[in-house]
Amino acid sequence: MKPTKSKRSFASDNNAGVHPRVLEAIVAANRGHVVAYGDDPYTKAAIAKFHEHFGKSTEIYFVFGGTGANVIGLKAVTESYNAIICADTAHINVDECGAPEKFTGCKLLPLSTEDGKIRVEQIKPLLHGVGFEHHVQPKVISISQSTEMGTVYTPHELKRLSRFAHKNGMLLHMDGARIANAAAGLTLDLREITRDAGVDILSFGGAKNGMMYGEAVVFFNAALAENFKYIRKQGTHLPSKMRFISAQFEALLSNDLWRRNAEHANRMATILAKELGKIPQIMITQKVEANGVFAIIPPKYIPLLQKSYFFYVWNEETSEVRFMTSFDTTEDDIRSFVALVKKTLRN
């Protein structure tokens, strides 16, 4: 394949490439034969890194992708008569092609949100049918951290949700596809916004933070993971050449690479929002607490801008668009995009 001129975009943190340190780790792991399916030194070392961050009694399972992590993590703790409560904007609700419903058999109960965050007061009314056989039985509250709207739950908000969940016989699941961005945004450690805040199951994101692929399902209560090795295999998420996911995670969780990547992406989002916010026809619609920027742009200009820097329209009706930054976004990307926006909107 001929090399093409490298293109830049604000479409998704998944559109970025792989962080060089991570790529080096893959290459370094490409030596000799090791036992497949995770019984190898790279996987042991990666799990030890997870233990450094989250504590020893944490169960970690590597998987190929984020949808899979959510689906099989939820499957592990539910029966088909259960319900999973989430935000209407949640990836599990809108971007997983119904996979959580198909594989868990559970009903999703989506709650409307302005900012991607759900609150205890909204959940209470969903519990009126507990114990009543005609109703699904809520078992999991699933939240995204950071949220699909680029906002972040504070430890206080997380603790309120987890206490409420546990008091009512439920579990707190976190879709942490962007957990690094959330922790960096809050200037906290990974543990403080997961385990210490009462999260039970975490989908730990790697791809958006600089990995090539690979995520982890993390259980903070080992009992919940009792049969998970079977569920992962049956759910088609047991990677045979696991060492290549493990090596990436070891690199990401060493020397604060995860935090540096996330801090950089978040800083780029803050600058982008600040610069776009100065343009009179543009309205920033969400707080920028991680690496996403949401803005309303007059619709006629959107296709023109997308030609040079692709990004997604989030809401056709309101002409709200989403910009995502990543570990490799540069200030130059922002400068030239903002200049293009100014020029386009003047015409």
Ligand X SMILES: Cc1ncc(COP(=O)(O)O)c(C=O)c1O
Cβ-contact 279, 341 below 8 angstroms: yes
Subset of 83-122 contacting ligand X (CB under 6 A): 91
Q: Which is nearer to ligand X, 15 or 168 (CB)?
A: 15
The owner of tokens 């056709």 is 316
- Residue 336 CB, shortest distance to ligand X, in Å, is 25
Q: Which of 38, 66, 138, 150 binds ligand X (CB under 6 A)?
A: 66
Q: Say how many CA atoms lie within 13 Å of 216 toward its Cβ.
A: 29
Provide φ and ψ at 6, rounded to 5°.
Answer: -70, 135
Subset of 192-211 contacting ligand X (CB under 6 A): 207
Number of H helices, E strands in the chain: 13, 11
Q: Does 65 bind ligand X (CB under 6 A)?
A: yes
Nearest position to ligand X, beta carbon: 66
Q: Does 148 bind ligand X (CB under 6 A)?
A: yes
Q: Beta strand 59-63 with 137-144: parallel, antiparallel or unpaired?
A: unpaired
Applying CB under 6 A, the span of 38-46, 64-72, 128-136, 239-247 interacting with ligand X comes to 64-72
Structure tokens, 201: 């199951």
Number of neighbouring beta carbons within 10 Å of residue 73: 35
Q: Which is nearer to ligand X, 71 or 341 (CB)?
A: 71
Q: Which of 43, 58, 67, 162 binds ligand X (CB under 6 A)?
A: 67
Q: Which of 59, 175, 196, 200 binds ligand X (CB under 6 A)?
A: 175
User: What SS3 string covers 101-142?
Assistant: HHHHCCEEEEECCCCCCCCHHHHHHHHCCCCCCCCCEEEEEE
Q: Does 289 bind ligand X (CB under 6 A)?
A: no
- Residue 6 CB, shortest distance to ligand X, in Å, is 22
Site size for ligand X (CB under 6 A)? 10
Applying CB under 6 A, the span of 63-71, 228-236, 267-275, 304-312 interacting with ligand X comes to 63-71
Cβ-contact 262, 209 below 8 angstroms: yes
* Footprint of ligand X (CB under 6 A): 14, 65-67, 91, 144, 148, 175, 177, 207
